Structures are given as C-alpha cells and as structure tokens.
C-alpha cells in the first residue's frame, strides 16, 4: 500500500466510524429505545447545533471557554517550566519539594472550586486559576523528569563552551527536556479544557459549560441544545489534541520518536 493510499485509508475509517455512530444514535432514539427526555434524536440535536453555531451566541461561548483554557494553560506551563527546571538541577530541592508536589497533585482541582468561586466569583479569573492549578502539578513533574534525564555529557559540554544562565536554559535545558514537556502539554491541554467546562457548569461562568447548564434547566424542549454544546465540547477537545499532536511532530521532527512515526507511515506494507 503506497503512502497516499495509506493516508486516505487512515482518514476514511475514522469518518466511517463517526457516520455509523450517528446512524446508530438516530436509530436508537427514533426507535424509542431511549426516551426523548433522556436522549434526544440525532436529527434534533443537529438542528439545534446548526441553530446555535450559525449565530454569534454559540461561538461567543466557545471563545469564553477557550480564554480560560488558554490563559490557565499558559500560566501553568511557564510556571512549571521555570520551577521544574530549578528543582531538577538541585537534588536537595527536588527531594524537599517532591512530597509537596505529590500532595497537591493528588488533590482534585474540582475540590477547590467552591473556595475559588467564593473568593473570585463566577469570573474568568476563577476559571483561569482552576485550570492553572489543575494542570500545573502534572506538568511540573514532566519538566523535572525531563530535565533530570538530560545527558550529563551535554551539560558538561555546555559548561566547557561557556554556555550559562538563561542561554543554557533556552538552548540546552529546554530542547533536552522537550519530549517530556511536549507530552505533558498534550495531556494538559485536554485536562485544561475539561476543567474549564466543569467550572462553567458548576460555577456558572461564561462558556460552553454555562450553556449546557442553562439548556438542562430549560426542560425537555431544550435538551437538544444541551447535547449540541456537549458535542461541541468534544469536537473542541479533539481539535486541540490534534493541533498539539501536529505541533509536536513539526517542532520535534529531529527527535527519534517523531522520526520513527514518520518512517512507519512511509514504510510500504508487505
């Protein structure tokens, strides 16, 4: 199978799976297997989807969710990169902080949502704080282990060449830990979106989650709209994960793991 046919096949099967899932959804709901107050038909959900996202209302909700996702993820990423690198270079600091990191990592971010809402209200700041808190701890662990896995020879060579301070951090530390950081960011992206939507549902902040909550409270006639926003949140998560995967492949084309993926895709089938 040549590469073009292989890529076409890789695209065809996911599309076919979606079509089958939608057809099954319509058959089960229209056939009465599920009651309308439990699960609206696929056709009514798609009509609601078109109505919501053919106007500014739906996209404003998406934008509000993406704001919390983006700002929280950026703040957590920068903090994790700086603090994680500092801890990784000091064995004493790493051992001292590891218990605290594991403790906070074990706390579900949703558990502190009532406290954050009490302090910050149902605002963008609340959403950003929750997202940043939730994704910071897994990210800093990825950064620490990425930096600690760095080849000592690379570090010694940088010292011998006089590469120090910020320059060493940017041209030696970050590229060496890049595989760990990239994986952590891809996972954190999905977690950040989940936290943003959950914050909107529970605390009522603007975004997709708030629209889901309003549609749920509107009664059976607005259930298709609720499922339309749920569907949009899933599509958004899929798009963000795919974007991070593509960025990772382009930015790290030099790394062995990405070269293996490319070679496997281009290798002809026997």
pLDDT band at 269 (very low <50, low <70, confident <90, very high): very low
* 32 CA to centre of own chain: 36
What residue spans define the domains of the chain? Answer: 1-34, 37-266
3-state secondary structure of 253: coil
Cβ-contact 120, 60 below 8 angstroms: no
Which residues are CB-neighbours of 172 under 8 A, at least 6 positions away?
150, 154, 155, 158, 163
pLDDT given for residue 138 in this prediction: 92
Cβ-contact 75, 129 below 8 angstroms: no
Highest mean pLDDT among 24-33, 34-43, 104-113: 104-113
In this predicted structure, which of 106-120, 138-152, 157-171, 252-266 has the lowest mean pLDDT? 252-266
Q: 214 vs 22, 66, 175, 201, 254, CA distance in Å?
A: 25, 19, 45, 9, 48
Which residues are CB-neighbours of 223 under 8 A, at least 6 positions away?
36, 37, 40, 215, 216
Specify the CATH number for 37-266; select among 3.40.50.1370, 1.10.3720.10, 1.10.600.10, 3.40.50.2300. 1.10.3720.10
pLDDT given for residue 270 in this prediction: 45
What is the C-alpha to C-alpha distance for residues 134 and 187, in angstroms, rounded to an integer?
12
Share the mean pLDDT of the chain. 86
Cβ-contact 20, 196 below 8 angstroms: no
Rounded average pLDDT over 153-160: 76
Cβ-contact 109, 133 below 8 angstroms: yes
pLDDT given for residue 129 in this prediction: 96
DSSP 8-state assignment for residue 149? T
Q: At what angle do helices 223-251 and 208-217 cross, to 10 degrees?
A: 160
Cα dihedral value 69, 10, 249, 153, nearest 10? 120
Q: At what angle do helices 3-30 and 256-266 cross, to 10 degrees?
A: 90
More confident residue, 19 or 262: 19
pLDDT band at 108 (very low <50, low <70, confident <90, very high): very high
Rounded average pLDDT over 216-232: 91
Which residues are CB-neighbours of 191 under 8 A, at least 6 positions away?
134, 135, 138
Tell me if the pTM is above 0.75: yes
- Sign for the CA dihedral angle at 120, 121, 123, 128 comes to positive
- Count of CB atoms situated within 10 Å of the CB of 122: 16
Q: 119 vs 112, 113, 137, 167, CA distance in Å?
A: 11, 10, 22, 39
pLDDT given for residue 176 in this prediction: 78
Is a pLDDT exceeding 70 seen at residue 265? Answer: no
- Select from 219, 142, 146 the least CA-distant residue to 188: 142
């Amino acid at each position: 199978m040549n590469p073009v046919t292989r890529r076409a096949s890789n695209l065809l099967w996911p599309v076919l799976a979606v079509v089958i899932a939608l057809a099954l959804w319509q058959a089960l709901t229209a056939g009465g297997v599920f009651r309308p107050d439990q699960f609206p038909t696929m056709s009514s959900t798609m009509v609601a989807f078109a109505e919501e996202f053919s106007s500014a209302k739906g996209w404003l909700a998406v934008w509000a969710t993406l704001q919390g996702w983006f700002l929280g993820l950026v703040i957590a990423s920068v903090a994790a990169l700086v603090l994680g690198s500092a801890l990784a270079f000091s064995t004493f600091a790493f051992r001292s902080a590891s218990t605290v990191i594991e403790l906070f990592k074990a706390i579900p971010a949703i558990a502190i949502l009532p406290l954050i809402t009490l302090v910050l209200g149902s605002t963008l700041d609340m959403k950003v704080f929750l997202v940043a808190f939730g994704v910071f701890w897994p990210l800093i662990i990825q950064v620490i282990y990425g930096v600690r896995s760095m080849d000592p020879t690379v570090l010694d060579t940088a010292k011998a060449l006089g590469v120090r301070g910020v320059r060493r951090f940017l041209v030696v530390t970050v590229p060496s830990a890049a595989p760990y950081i990239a994986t952590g960011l891809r996972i954190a992206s999905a977690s950040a979106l989940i936290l943003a939507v959950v914050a909107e549902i529970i605390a009522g902040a603007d975004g997709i989650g708030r629209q889901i909550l309003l549609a749920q409270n509107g009664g059976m006639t607005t259930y298709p709209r609720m499922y339309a926003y749920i569907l949009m949140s899933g599509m958004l998560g899929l798009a963000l994960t795919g974007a991070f995967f593509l960025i990772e492949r382009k930015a790290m084309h030099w790394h062995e793991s990405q070269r293996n993926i490319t070679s496997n895709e281009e290798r002809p089938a026997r």
